[in-house]
Structure 1
Amino acid sequence: MERSREDEVRERLADIAGDDPGPGERALLGRLVRSFLEKNPAGVDQLAELLRGGDPGMLREHAHALKGSATNIGADSLARVFAEIEHAARDGVVPDPDLMLGRIACEQALVYPVLEKIAAEG
Structure 2
Amino acid sequence: MERSREDEVRDRMADIAGPDPGPAEQALLGRLIRSYLEKTPAAVDRLGELLRGGDPAALREHAHAMKGSASNIGAATLSAVLAEVEQAAREGVVLDPDLTLGRIACEQALVFPILEKLAAGG
The TM-score range, normalised by the shorter chain, is over 0.9
Aligned counterpart, 1:96: 96
**2:28 aligned residue:** 28
Aligned length: 122
TM-score normalized with structure 1 length: 0.98
Q: What CA distance in whole angstroms lies between the structure 1 residues aligned with 2:41 and 2:2? A: 25
One-letter amino acid of the structure 2 residue matched with residue 52 of structure 1: R
Give the superposition deviation at 1:10: 0.5
Shift of residue 74 of structure 1?
Answer: 0.4
* Cα deviations by residue, 1:82-114 (Å, 9 ceiling, x for unpaired): 100000000000000011000000000000000
Gaps of 5+ in 1: none
AA of the residue aligned to 1:8: E
The unaligned stretches of length 5 or more in structure 2 are: none
SS in 2 for 1:121: coil
Q: TM-score, normalised by structure 2?
A: 0.98
| CA RMSD, 1 decimal | 0.8
Query: Which residue matches 1:69?
Result: 69
1:78 corresponds in structure 2 to: 78
Q: How many percent identity over aligned positions?
A: 76
1:8 has 2:4 as partner: no
* 2:77 aligned partner, one-letter code: S
